[in-house]
Amino acid sequence: MPSSAPVRRAVANEVNRLRGSGLIVEAGSGWGTLGIHLAKRCKEWRVVGIENSPFPLRVSQLLAWISLGRGSKSRAAFRKGNIYTWSYADANLVVCYLYPGAMQHLGSILHRELRPGTRVISVCFALPGWSPEKVVTCRDLYRTKIYIYEVE
Ligand SMILES: C[S@@+](CC[C@H](N)C(=O)[O-])C[C@H]1O[C@@H](n2cnc3c(N)ncnc32)[C@H](O)[C@@H]1O
Instruction: Give me the CATH number covering residue 21.
Output: 3.40.50.150
72 has a pLDDT exceeding 80: no
The mean pLDDT of the chain is: 96
Task: Kindly report the pTM of this predicted structure.
Answer: 0.97
**Count of domains forming the chain:** 1
Tell me which H or E stretch contains 129.
Answer: none
Integer-rounded Cα radius of gyration of the chain: 14
| Residues ≥6 apart with Cβ < 8 Å to 110 | 88, 94, 120, 127, 151
Question: pLDDT band at 59, cuts 50/70/90?
Answer: very high
29 has a pLDDT exceeding 80: yes
Q: Is 121 in the pocket of ligand 1 (CB under 6 A)?
A: no
Question: Contact at 8 Å (CB) between 72 and 47?
Answer: no
Question: Contact at 8 Å (CB) between 59 and 29?
Answer: no
Q: What pLDDT is recorded for position 71?
A: 78
60 has a pLDDT exceeding 90: yes
Question: Across residues 13-27, what is the average pLDDT?
Answer: 96
CA of 69 to the centre of ligand 1 (A): 24
Instruction: Look at residues 108, 122, 112 and name the one whose alpha carbon lies nearest to residue 34.
Output: 122
